[in-house]
Amino acid sequence: MQSTSQDQTLVCKECGKQFVWTAGEQDFYKQKGFDNPPFRCADCRQAKKAQRMTARTMTKITCERCGKEDEVPFVPRKGTGVLCRTCYSEQRQNRA
């Protein structure tokens, strides 16, 4: 299937720099169900993501499967079990 999209030049709302939103990126966005173009250039998107990652609050949990203590980047809801990183990764691999 050939792309009907064309490269677009956009302006970053964060730094004001122009950046190209390629046809391939547009197709990827459509495939993921995203309708809107990016507002930020790649550098500003990466900086924003890094900022969110450092601002996360980690919560200590006990894994419902193996009993190991771990930390997760969210506050679990009461009554729901939470898995440690290892058990979560194993569960995701088994689904695929």
Per-residue pLDDT of the chain (96 residues; tens, 9 = 90+): 566 789 999 999 999 999 999 999 999 999 999 989 999 999 999 999 999 888 788 999 999 999 999 999 888 988 888 999 999 999 988 886
Q: Is 15 a member of any domain?
A: yes
Q: Is 64 a member of any domain?
A: yes
Report pLDDT for 96. Answer: 66
The backbone region for 30, taken as left when phi is positive above 0, alpha when psi lies in -120 to 50, beta otherwise, is alpha
Judge if 42 and 63 occupy the same domain.
no
Judge if 50 and 87 occupy the same domain.
no
Take residue 26 and report the two structure tokens written for it.
Answer: 């547009």
- Tell me how far the alpha carbon of residue 25 is from its chain's centroid: 16
Look at the alpha carbons of 62, 65, 68, 73 in this order and tell me if their dihedral is positive or negative.
negative
Q: Is 2 a member of any domain?
A: no
Q: Is 21 a member of any domain?
A: yes
Report pLDDT for 1. Answer: 53
Report pLDDT for 80. Answer: 84
| Residue 70, beta-bridge partner list | 61
Q: Is 63 a member of any domain?
A: yes
Report how far residue 52's alpha carbon sits from residue 45's, in angstroms, rounded to the nearest whole number.
11
Domain residue limits at 45: 8-54
Judge if 44 and 65 occupy the same domain.
no
How many structural domains is the chain composed of? 2
